[in-house]
Amino acid sequence: MAEEFNLDGMLDVFLYESSQLMENLESIILEKQNEECFDDADINEIFRIMHTIKGSSGIMMFDNITKISHKLEDVFYYLRESHPENVPHLELVEKVLAVSDFITGELDKIKDGGSPDSDEGELLKELDDFLAHIKGEIKEQGIRLPRENKSEEPSQFYITPVAGDDSHFYRIVIHYRNDTMMSNIRAYSATYALKEVAEDLLYSPDDIISNEESGDVILAEGFYMLLQTKSSKSEILELIDSTEAEKIDFDEVSADEFGKAIGELGSGGVPDISAQQPENTSGQEAQKKEPVVPGDYVVKKKETGKGKTLAKNQPKKQSIISVNVEKMDALMDLIGEIVIAEAAVMQNPDLKVPGLELGNFQKAAGQLAKITTDLQEAIMSMRMMPLTNVFQKMRRIVFDVSRKLGKEIELEVIGENTEVDKNIIEHISDPLMHLVRNSVDHGIETDPQQRVNLGKPSKGKITLEAKNEGGKVYISVRDDGKGLNKEKLYQKALDNGLIGDKLITEFSDSEIFRFITLPGFSTKEVVTEYSGRGVGMDVVIKDIQAIGGRLEIDSEEGYGSEMTLVIPLTLAIINGIVVEVGDYSFVLETASVKEFVRVGEDTIVQEPSGEEYIVLRGECYPFIRLNEKYNLSDTREKVDSGIVVVLEYEGRQICILIDRLLQEQEIVVKPIPSYIKKVKGLSGCTQLGDGSIALILDVAGLVQSEERS
């Protein structure tokens, strides 16, 4: 049965499924990197992953991916069939990771609209050499080598019926395992495996390439084939790939039954095979039927390509579907507009008419607010993703860097299922990578004896932990290495002119630790592949601040360091407090506000340079008058006639002067248009219920601008 071979409809499915398989592969490899060998379950799973990618990439005609995956499949085929001993485990791990990097790189090219054109020759040679070594081990141990793991390239074909006196007629139903991915491609693999021996072949569903939903039907009810061939049952079973098959129902039927089955298939039905007793797929070849005499039956009409979906039961629905992230972003934007529209309704000036009875309106508005909140939470939960994939990348970094630096390091992962907004995850991947590499390079000692002398295990340990508390996500990178030397950090910052001529006693421990985040700061005396250039930690700070997060650093010399990223759950909607300065509105993120106070002019201290500070309960804080900072008119100038807001960021506090407090509400964050010059201390804007625009204050930017001044 022929069908149009359309790759466009399969590309997204191929990329998604292949990416999932590669993540699963890397997870298995890194979890077992410190073991003596892979167990049978791991070998079978890796073989299955490579076999799946080989088949799907072959159908998609990505030849280099097919060749690499087939070669690694060969390696694990021999491991699975012969169970050789003395296989160099770490070398095998490195080979698998090299294949993973190659395939992942090619998938990235395809996602970006390019072609997978990397040269696989060198990697194939390395795998060939490794495979030759394995085969040598198998022979030395006196184990018989299994037959070659052959594979045919997929191609388009159409098989015309050419009946003969010695033809067999088979009815085959392949039942795949419930967890089989891309089952429609597995089914297509079965059809092209039979192309050389088939005289006629029809199958249902018949749109296995052009319709990805056909995979659901196949998983629910099996893949149905009608095959006319001169080959025996055992020969057919040898050709069909049963790697993913849970069961294969195989019946040899008469020519009449075969003809009736073709008619039913072409007319929209599927022959009922329930009355047939399925034969054991490992049994002996069925008894040969009487030769078919020409003219015994005639199929008057068969519509090519019209095989129908199995119809005895409806397909089972998948519990998970994939949705384009752009659609999710558009939906989130609409939710933001609903929140703004709700505020416009609730704060409508027409509702402020004296004596207006609004009891029913308030009830309806309350119900609307509840529905809006529930809808917002539902959409947010759809955007939330676990940190599993990000943490998996960190496993790989620890493995690669520690191997290159010659350090023995164990990575412990805690809370990898903590969920964060997808946009947040995209922003924290690079900062987290820098922190982990710093722990491996800077933190863990090079000489294990130094650790032993301090009573620590000779093998270093890095702990990566994530937890969700109070609307924030805390991601910690903790090592038991040498820690930070405060005197050394101070001297380096002093020599580089990063702190002026201040004495070390003028800084707290946390402030000294933060020196490592200053641009151009590095404690490495020698530039290496991983550090020493004075860049990295300042990039971490910028990336984290861009999403409203912060970095906390703690350390004990000789016993390790801990660096914690504190990030918001989402960027789209925040809880904010709306304030006024003159006729202008500003928004303060609720989490940044420590307190509101009223003070007199006598609490203000002004330095000769013009900088102002405010004294509260014996503590001195930088003081900013927003009207002066942003040149606003018609605002109060005296402190005692306004309200002082104490803001906190990373343990540092700053005070600002406002005129009025308006309300606390959910704020939909919008970026400041690109045609407006970027202003320090402002991170975005939002639309209020009355239609006016309010600017969102960037507390981190205000704090840092005051420190620099």
Amino acid at 582: G
CB 106 within 8 A of CB 14: no
pLDDT in tens, 624-636: 888 888 888 655 5
pLDDT score of 463 more than 90? yes
Amino acid at 544: I
pLDDT score of 465 more than 90? yes
User: For 462, phi and psi rounded to 5 degrees?
Assistant: -120, 130
Q: How many Å is the Cα radius of gyration of the chain?
A: 34
Q: Using CA atoms, how far apart are residues 300 and 282, in angstroms rounded to an integer?
A: 36
pLDDT in tens, 254-291: 887 887 777 676 555 555 544 444 444 433 333 343 44
Considering only residues 155 and 70, tell me which one the structure prediction assigns the higher pLDDT: 70
C-alpha separations of 133 from 77, 380, 433 in Å: 14, 52, 35
pLDDT score of 306 more than 50? no
Question: Which are the contacts of 63, defined by CB distance < 8 A and separation ≥ 6?
Answer: none
Q: Which residues pair with 667 in a beta bridge?
A: 574
What value, to the nearest 5°, has the Cα angle with vertex 330 and ends 379 and 670? 90
Stretch 563-580: mean pLDDT? 82
C-alpha separations of 524 from 143, 432, 489 in Å: 53, 20, 11
> Which two structure tokens, joined as six digits, stand for 249?
């129902």
Q: What residue ranges in 582-678 does DSSP mark as E strands?
A: 584-589, 593-597, 604-606, 612-616, 619-625, 643-649, 652-658, 660-668
pLDDT in tens, 660-669: 898 888 787 8
Stretch 439-458: mean pLDDT? 89
User: For 324, phi and psi rounded to 5 degrees?
Assistant: -55, 130
Fill in the DSSP letter of residue 442.
I
CB 197 within 8 A of CB 229: yes
What value, to the nearest 5°, has the Cα angle with vertex 338 and ends 333 and 342? 150
- What pLDDT was estimated at residue 293? 39
Most confident of 2-16, 214-228, 307-321: 214-228
Q: Using CA atoms, how far apart are residues 672 and 683, in angstroms rounded to an integer?
A: 8
Amino acid at 588: L
CB 431 within 8 A of CB 565: yes
Q: Using CA atoms, how far apart are residues 102 and 461, in angstroms rounded to an integer?
A: 29
User: For 408, phi and psi rounded to 5 degrees?
Assistant: -90, 115
Q: Using CA atoms, how far apart are residues 497 and 229, in angstroms rounded to an integer?
A: 84
> Which two structure tokens, joined as six digits, stand for 639?
């402190």
pLDDT score of 537 more than 70? yes
pLDDT in tens, 390-448: 888 888 888 888 888 888 898 999 998 888 888 788 888 888 988 998 889 888 998 88
Burial of 253 (0-12, 13-18, 19+ CB in 10 A): buried
CB 560 within 8 A of CB 460: no
> Which two structure tokens, joined as six digits, stand for 522?
């590095």
Considering only residues 603 and 8, tell me which one the structure prediction assigns the higher pLDDT: 603
Q: Using CA atoms, how far apart are residues 239 and 570, in angstroms rounded to an integer?
A: 52
Q: Each residue of 371-410: b (16+ CB within 10 Å) or e?
A: ebeeebeebbeebbbebeebbbbbbbbbbebbeeeebebe
CB 227 within 8 A of CB 258: no
Considering only residues 688 and 298, tell me which one the structure prediction assigns the higher pLDDT: 688
CB 3 within 8 A of CB 191: no
Q: Using CA atoms, how far apart are residues 515 and 202, in angstroms rounded to an integer?
A: 71
pLDDT score of 102 more than 70? yes
- What are the contacts of 365-371 at 24+ separation with CB within 8 A? 368/342, 369/342
